[in-house]
Amino acid sequence: MTRTPLSSVACSIARATDLFGDAWTALIMRDVLVGIRRFDELAEDLGLSRKVLAARLARLVEEGVLTRERYQASPPREEYVATEKGRELYPVLLTLMAWGDKWYADPAGAPARIRHDVCGHISTPVVTCDACRDPLTVADTTQLPGPGGRIGPGTLLLGRLIAARGQGS
C-alpha cells in the first residue's frame, strides 16, 4: 500500500507526520538521541531489517534531521548524529513518551524515567505556554489562522474552522 504524501497539506502536524509516518523513524531518533548511533547497533537494538533501517536513516539524513560523521578512518566507519533540527525533536519524543507512560505502561511502571540534569529531579515532560509557563491543554487553547494557513486537501474543514475563529480576533 502506497502512502499519500502529506508535504503539501497546510498543517505542520501533517508535514511532520509525513517524515514520522511510521514507528521505526521515531524509535531510530529515540536511539540516536540517547546515544546509539552506529548502524549495526541501531539494527541490533531495534531488531528491524537492515534494508528498512538504511532507508529510514537515508531519509532522516536527506531531511537534515541526522548527519553522518566519520568516527574511524580505516576502514571508514560512520555514525549518525542528530542535527539541531533532530535535537529539537527530543521534546516531542518526551511528550509522546509521557503520554505512553500514562496510558500504556506495564503494571510495573514506565520503562524509562527522565532525569533533568540541571536540577537532578525525575521529570515528566509538560508542554507549557512560552509566555506564562502554564500547561497547554485542549481545554484552554484555540488554534487561530497562521500566515501559511490555507484551505485545501487535508484541511478542507479544519482550515475553514480555524479561519472562522480568526474572524473574531
So what's the pLDDT on residue 82? 98
Using alpha carbons, select from 118, 135, 139 the residue that is nearest to residue 126.
135
Q: Kindly write down the DSSP assignment for every residue of 61-77, as one continuous string.
A: HHTTSEEEEEEETTTTE
Written as nine digits, the cell of 39 is 548502524
So what's the pLDDT on residue 168? 63
So what's the pLDDT on residue 121? 96
So what's the pLDDT on residue 111? 93
So what's the pLDDT on residue 15? 82
* pLDDT < 50 positions in the chain: 1
Which letter, b or e, does each residue of 70-80 get, where b requires 16 or more Cβ atoms within 10 Å of its Cβ? eeeeeeeeebb
So what's the pLDDT on residue 2? 58
Q: Kindly write down the DSSP assignment for every residue of 44-65, as one continuous string.
A: HHH---HHHHHHHHHHHHHTTS
Question: Can you give the pTM of this predicted structure?
Answer: 0.85
